[in-house]
Amino acid sequence: MADWVGRDPLKAKAGDGEAEIQIQDDKLFYNPGLTGEDMDGDLDRFALPDWQRAREWCRARNSQGIGCIIDVLGENARSKEQAERSVQSYLRCIQAIRMEGLRASVSVKLTDLGALYDQELCRDNARLLCREAAEVGVGFEIDMEGTPLVPFTMETALTCAREGPLALAVLAYLDRSAEDLSLLLEKGIRPRLVKGAYLGDTNDFQEVQNRLKALAKQAYESRQPFSLGTHDPQVLQWARARFSIDRPVAFSFLMGLADRTKLELAGEGREVFEYLPFGSRRGPYIARREKYLRDLRELSRTPAP
């Protein structure tokens, strides 16, 4: 396991030789072409450019005991046609996960499905995807985006729960999150607890840290499955000491961060997932990850190794 720490899992050693990864040239996902900036290898730290690369990355992570949460990076749909393109990409991803036998779920952003254009259409699209994922046994998750969309996202998740199992991100920096968490646990929706990457009701580091711990404690005491998504070494140390390995608690991380910690947790027998985004429209997503690291540096902090 130590040989893989901090390395590309596609190049990780398996036994005495290099793992052999064959990437087939298929056209499962439409790719309009990559710019010179997209071809910069450094960008691959946080998001991959296409399905072929994401598929092999996920397979390699699976071999390390780590599942993946796959996000098809799209666009903020402003028309029915744009939303439909995103729906079709997600549907192909769901079917690809099933056909490849990957240990992975698919995560959707409601803005890709039309939330900024037609919320009724968006809700119908989300229900369709949740139903299709349930029918083939692929996990389905909904990301939480900016604060103005939180009420609609909660409503959509509750609607989707009638179609099949799902998970929903819960943002610790929002005042409403403790109440939202109680409702999700009651309805059997698996929460993925995170600090939040946009603007919340508080952005004080210590306060958000304490809120995340409180949410995790609340979820743990419910004895319902949940996921804790954080790279905060203090929160991780607290959680590892508090949460029993035999309880349904997963640890989630972003691609490109905390690689050693992912492997250590998986080695302990804990459930671990990596959020794996891919697509040619990865600029805004990468910008948020880079801002996160800059903000940590300003606070003289670093993510878990």
- In order of start, what are the domains of the chain with their CATH numbers? 48-298 (3.20.20.220)
Give the β-pairing of 167-171 and 139-142.
parallel
Query: Residue 203: pLDDT band by 50, 70, 90 thresholds?
Result: confident
Cβ proximity of 100 and 55 under 8 Å: yes
- Summarised one tens digit per residue, pLDDT across range 182-195 is 999 999 999 999 99
Q: Model confidence at 199, in pLDDT bands (50, 70, 90)?
A: confident
Mean pLDDT over the full length of the chain: 87
Band of residue 8 on the pLDDT scale cut at 50, 70, 90: low
pLDDT tens string 75-119: 789 999 999 999 999 999 999 999 999 999 999 999 999 999 999
What would the mean pLDDT of 252-271 be, rounded to a whole number? Answer: 97
Confidence of residue 74 (pLDDT cuts 50, 70, 90): confident
Long-range pairs for 48-52: beta carbons < 8 A, 24 or more residues apart = 48/255, 48/276, 48/277, 48/278, 49/278, 49/279, 49/280, 49/282, 50/278, 50/279, 50/280, 51/26, 51/93, 51/96, 51/278, 52/23, 52/24, 52/25, 52/26
Residue-level pLDDT at 200: 80
Average pLDDT over residues 145-163: 96
**Which one-letter amino acid corresponds to residue 124?**
D
Handedness of CA 120, 157, 65, 13 (dihedral sign): positive
Band (pLDDT 50/70/90 cuts) for residue 22 is very low
End-to-end Cα distance, the chain: 15
Q: pLDDT confidence of 9, banded at 50, 70, 90?
A: low
DSSP 7: S
Higher pLDDT, 24 or 278: 278
Average pLDDT of 129-140?
98
How far, in whole angstroms, is CA 169 from its chain's centroid?
A: 9
Q: Which of 9-13, 233-237, 243-247 shows the highest mean pLDDT?
A: 233-237
Q: Flag whether pLDDT at 166 surpasses 80.
A: yes
Compute the average pLDDT of residues 23-48: 48
Q: Can you tell me the distance from the alpha carbon of 98 to that of 111, in angstroms, rounded to the nearest whole number?
A: 25
Indicate if the pLDDT at residue 2 is higher than 70. no
For residue 268, the 8-state DSSP code is T
199 backbone dihedrals φ, ψ, rounded to 5°: -100, 125
| pLDDT the model gives residue 277 | 97
Calpha distance 296→148 (Å, rounded): 25
